Amino acid sequence: MGCDGGTIPKRHELVKGPKKVEQVDKNAALAARWNYCAISQRPLRKPIVACDLGRLYNKDAVIEYLLDTSPEKCVIETATHIKSLKDVKQLNLTDNPAWKGDKANTKGDKYEDLQRAAFICPVVGLEMNGRQKFCYLRACGCVFSERAMKEIKTEVCHKCGEAFKEDDVIVLNGSKEEMADLQRKMEERKLKAKLLKKAKKSKAPEAVAKPAHIEEISGPSTQKPKENKVALDKMLNGHSSSSSTEKSSSTSTVSGKACKPASGITKRSRTEIGEKSEAYKSIFTSHSSAKRAREEKPNWITHTAYYY
């Protein structure tokens, strides 16, 4: 059979059987989803954000991904639905006091517990390592285990006290069915936001048009102050000075008292003003101090004196 050199072939080398399906290690899959960023594949470090589908990201990785607008940009499947930072929520995580960090077993002479995690549930104390289901609230970003949410049913956050609804609870790294349900809710939420935005834009021009319509209806009432203003301008310019004096004299003769003119300009009599002081009167040339006696006046006055 051509086995020169004393080689002995084995059965699997001669007969081709069905290929074995490679099975992914469960521990490695859980560590990849719960300890590493879904965009950069780097270890998760605070600040950590989560999308509406429950995936975990580093915030700096999301910002770098959004800022990259080059044509050579690598489109990542786990981040295609993220268009801005509004599509993610920063998580309020609780640190695990028993966590010593990734560098605790650098020499390799210690037992490394794969179930240890950097964060825990603040209510029950379960570690967020993927063995138990965890969820976060869209209202405040606090993270709890699903067991804590079921055992203590409330409409207020256990950690910060902020109110939330049932739709605000999003499962982190859920199954395929849970991811499909979250995607449906996300699309419905975006559609509602678009409809509300269109409704607000349509209401804005209506609110501007209403005051103009009201002014057209109440035309005669708004014309009165305009007529008064024109009359005042005419009186100031001297067009209606004679008519105003006649009206004021007629009203004073009838009542015996000084009445205010109809135009709105008030005139006070000397009795109402009162006597002025001597210091005030001395300012004017009509005062006695400004008049000179005949002896004080000079015999001649040279207005344009020329001296050569």
Q: Which residue from 128, 142, 164 is spatially nearest to 91, judged by alpha carbons?
A: 142
Contacts 24+ apart (CB under 8 A), 104-107: none
Contact assessment for residue 3 and residue 9, using Cβ atoms and an 8 Å cutoff = yes
Query: What pLDDT does 153 receive?
Result: 84
Q: Indicate the helix (H) or strand (E) that contains 215.
A: helix 176-217
In a domain, 292, yes or no: no
- Domain of 35, CATH number, reads 3.30.40
Q: How many other CB atoms sit within 10 Å of the CB of residue 65?
A: 17
Q: How many domains does the chain have?
A: 1
Strands (E), the chain: 48-51, 56-58, 88-90, 94-95, 119-120, 134-137, 143-145, 169-171
The domain in which residue 71 lies consists of 26-100+115-174
3 part of a folded domain:
no
Cα–Cα distance measured from residue 189 to residue 2, given in angstroms and rounded to the nearest whole number: 70
pLDDT of residue 254: 41
Element (H, E) at 144: strand 143-145
Q: Has residue 245 been placed in a domain?
A: no
**Does some domain include residue 145?**
yes
Q: Quick one: tokens of 253?
A: 């003769």
> Splitting the chain (308 residues) into consecutive groups of 10 residues, what average pLDDT does each group show?
68 80 80 90 92 93 91 86 92 88 62 76 90 91 91 87 89 92 92 89 72 52 52 55 46 44 52 67 72 59 53
The pLDDT score that the predictor gives to residue 247 is 47
168/298 Cα distance (integer angstroms)? 104
| The model scores a pTM over 0.75 | no
Domain-located, residue 156: yes
- Between CA 46 and CA 188, with CA 77 as vertex, the angle to 5 degrees is 85
Q: Provide the residue type at 55 as one letter.
A: R
Token pair of 85, please?
């930072």
